[in-house]
Amino acid sequence: MALKSTIYKSILNISDLDRHHYAEYPLTLALHPSETEERLMMRLLAFALYADEQLSFTRGLCVDDEPDLWQHAPNGEIERWIEVGLPSEKRLRKACSRAREVILLVYGSEQQVEPWWQGIRRSLTRFDNLRILRIAEAESAALTELVARQMRLQCTVQDGQLWFTGDAGSAELTPLAMQP
């Protein structure tokens, strides 16, 4: 018998001073059985960074041809494709050919990220529509401490930094751009 996803619900209140975007989003996130809570929170972070009424979570890990989040234009074209983790060059190539903008949110330990980065870095230079952001391991861990099946989170974005606050505490994150 296949394991089912665990459902997490979040009310995410965003005050994005950089983009002048202020909204509250009731979100339902499914945690796939093979997914960690850290990855779940990275998807939530990605949503907070690029929040928009048209941005949506996809079916996730069980579907190969969809990102973690995406945003479609009214004509159906993919405006923004957002991945989290350490995807293959093939997956990023496919994303860059299908979407106007591709965002990759990299997280994990230095022992995981560095070998991946050294192996993929050169092949990414040809993608003009790819932006890679790195979340430090300690920052990712702090955000994961806020996870709960029912979350009410406040996220403030200013000068490229994010502050999350919730019932379980707070976390400050500064996504850093990685250049191929």
DSSP of 1-54, one letter per residue? -PPPPEEEEEEEEEEETTTTEEEEEEEEEEE-TT--HHHHHHHHHHHHHT--TT
Range of the domain at 101: 6-178
Give a yes or no: residue 102 inside a domain. Answer: yes
CA neighbor of 169 nearest in space, from 149, 150, 142:
142
Give a yes or no: residue 46 inside a domain. Answer: yes
Give a yes or no: residue 139 inside a domain. Answer: yes
Give a yes or no: residue 63 inside a domain. Answer: yes
pLDDT, tens digit, 9 for 90 and up, residues 147-170: 999 999 999 999 999 999 999 999
Give a yes or no: residue 26 inside a domain. Answer: yes
DSSP H or E stretch at residue 141:
helix 137-144
Amino acid at 8: Y
Please answer whether residues 83 and 67 qualify as being in contact, where contact means their C-beta atoms are separated by less than 8 angstroms: yes
Give a yes or no: residue 1 inside a domain. Answer: no
pLDDT, tens digit, 9 for 90 and up, residues 72-125: 999 999 999 999 999 999 999 999 999 999 999 999 999 999 999 999 999 999
Number of domains in the chain: 1
Tell me, what DSSP letter sits at residue 60?
A: G
Give a yes or no: residue 18 inside a domain. Answer: yes
Please tell me the pTM assigned to this model: 0.95
CATH number of the domain encompassing residue 60: 3.10.640.10
* Tokens 């957002």 belong to residue: 82
Give a yes or no: residue 168 inside a domain. Answer: yes
